[in-house]
Amino acid sequence: MLSLAMFSCKRSSSSKNDSRATGWKINDKNGGFQYNTNFKEQATSPGLVFIEGGTFTMGKVQDDVMHDWNNSPNQQHVQSFYMDETEVTNKMYLEYLDWLKRVYPPDDPNFKLIYEGALPDTLVWRNRLGYAEMMTENYLRHPGYGEYPVVGVSWIQAVEFADWRTDRVNELYLEDAGYLKRDARITDVSADANFNTDTYINAPTETFGGNDEILNGGKRRTQTNAAGEEINVYAKRESGIITPEYRLPSEAEWEYAALGLSELRSYNTIRGRKKYPWSGSYTRSGKRKTKGDQLANFKQGKGDYGGIAGWSDDGADITAEVKSYEPNDFGLYDMAGNVAEWVADVYRPIVDDEFNDFNYYRGNVYTKNAINDDGTVKVVTTDDIVYDTLSNGKIVPRNLPGEIHQVPVNENETYLRTNFDSSDNRNFRDGDKRSSRQFGGNFNEDETVTDSETGKMYNSPKHKIERDSAGALIKNYDKSNERTSLINDNARVYKGGSWKDREYWIDPAQRRYFPQDMATDYIGFRCAMSRVGSKSKGKNKTRN
């Protein structure tokens, strides 16, 4: 009876490598379904800190001195995510520029615009009635400013940096896991042979230009099935090695992270009365040792960018070195002041919480991988780089060699769906023709609008950039007197206030907008990353 009991227990129990669907063995050495059953939780990628998600009151909960009513309080829920501990610094951005210069040498006419398109606009420091040539010449590259936040970067450039950062981190992770040849990211990389995360997942043999020495030159032990064929040659999503993408945070994520945890909650209710990333309603420290010290870098008054030297000085007149002030409860630095920061959202005067109150974000443009006639994905090569001319005349590459060409989703993906019906959703429920006063019951969206341009909700100026036969830029300025707004689908939100802003703007709830292809001396950025798996890093249990 004892033997029978032991045998039956052994048969009834299943290990983590046994499928609960079929009873088959997972990760069998003979082949079959392969999956990382040892995965614990997402590792924190370089530069990031963990932000446990939750519910909060988004929007202005104090006074509204501007009376623009663009941030009415609304309750939102944010999933757990990761965020850069500090703003992206000059040194971090210079590493990006160095990589571009090595892989796409600007002295090659085919690649010149790639490097130039990534360069920050250092001329943003100039002032017609002020001397700032020292910052123009030194701020980006001098070691004295290495740990200062990068500025002069447009929203588009910030997104490109985040994409590049994703690839470099995953490239290192795969190298450490033995999937890629050691140090290939430095010694073997070129314009025709480099690493892209999406390409590696969808068409691994196209990565590094198909160089088998790199793709199979790692120190990982070869796995074979019963027939002697190699398996698990390339890492997949299922391996758990490839991290989610670095990206700009959404506005809701940024505001939630800036507020931190202090004073956000009272027992199990939301207080919603937080004004700054720190506790209290004042910008000066109330602690005994630091009493009276400013808690952020901002403009304190007319002509007062730093305070009185040697007395009530906040330590900076322009930007300050990151980590110059205390972090908030999440461990994030400079979520108020120093530089304002780009977020991912397209700007609209309202947050449409009536439609969605979970991971709110406006700006979705859904795409899919372009497919060749033979069914393979279309990978961009050095011969088919496409460049876009922005509204300010700057030229940037649409895709870099090694990336997968993206196309909008079509009716094959949208047919009979209830959650989305188009590729571009930037003006969903606000700013489209249905939102205008011209819209009526029999309105046809394809009809030409004959009413005045001022009848449209968002009719910002439409400047045009063209090129003549010699390649010179022809800049056509829209001087129409019927334009009533600067808002369009390319206006992006920035948050947090800056060294140039008064106290009012360092409230995390404040929201402003700026064209996505332009830059200033007071807007920088930091990256975020989504959390996969559990909401919490600890083993939190449900509380009564």
pLDDT confidence of residue 68: 79
Residues comprising the chain, all counted: 544
How open is the CA angle 207-212-214, to the nearest 5 degrees?
70
pLDDT confidence of residue 447: 47
In the chain, what is the straight-line distance between the N-terminal and C-terminal CA atoms, in Å? 45
Tokens of 540: 């939190």
Q: Domain ranges in the chain?
A: 48-177+241-361+494-530
CA distance 239 to 37: 9
For residue 184, the SS3 value is helix
Q: What is the identity of the amino acid at 40? A: K
CA distance 274 to 56: 10
What are the E-state strand segments in 262-408? 265-266, 269-270, 340-346, 367-369, 387-389, 395-397, 406-408
CA distance 537 to 186: 34
Long-range contacts of 153-156 (CB under 8 A, 24+ apart): 153/93, 153/120, 153/121, 153/519, 153/523, 153/524, 153/525, 154/121, 154/394, 154/516, 154/517, 154/518, 154/519, 155/248, 155/342, 155/492, 155/514, 155/516, 155/517, 155/525, 156/390, 156/396, 156/516, 156/517
CA distance 258 to 331: 10
CA distance 477 to 462: 8
| pLDDT string in tens for the chain (544-residue length) | 666 555 555 544 567 889 999 999 998 888 888 888 989 899 999 999 999 999 988 987 677 777 878 888 889 999 999 999 999 999 999 999 999 999 999 999 999 999 999 999 999 999 999 999 999 999 999 999 999 999 999 999 999 999 999 999 999 999 999 999 999 999 999 999 999 999 999 999 999 999 999 999 888 888 887 788 888 899 999 999 999 999 999 999 999 999 887 656 655 555 556 678 877 777 877 777 776 677 788 898 899 888 878 766 778 899 999 999 999 999 999 999 999 999 999 999 989 999 999 999 999 999 999 999 999 999 999 998 999 888 888 889 999 999 999 999 999 999 999 999 999 999 898 866 666 666 654 445 444 444 455 556 778 888 888 877 777 778 888 888 888 888 999 999 999 999 999 988 999 999 999 999 999 999 999 999 999 999 988 765 555 4
Note whether 170 and 236 are within 8 A (CB): no
Tokens of 284: 């000066």
CA distance 541 to 396: 49
pLDDT confidence of residue 225: 79
Name the CATH superfamily housing domain 48-177+241-361+494-530.
paralog of FGE (formylglycine-generating enzyme) (3.90.1580.10)
pLDDT digits (tens, 9 = 90+) for 368-385: 999 999 999 999 999 989
Q: Which residue has the tokens 């190298």?
A: 175
How open is the CA angle 174-178-183, to the nearest 5 degrees?
75
For residue 86, the SS3 value is coil
Query: Backbone dihedral region of 210: left (phi > 0), alpha (psi from -120 to 50 degrees) or beta?
Result: left
Whole-model pTM over 0.75: yes
Count CB-CB contacts under 10 A for residue 12: 7
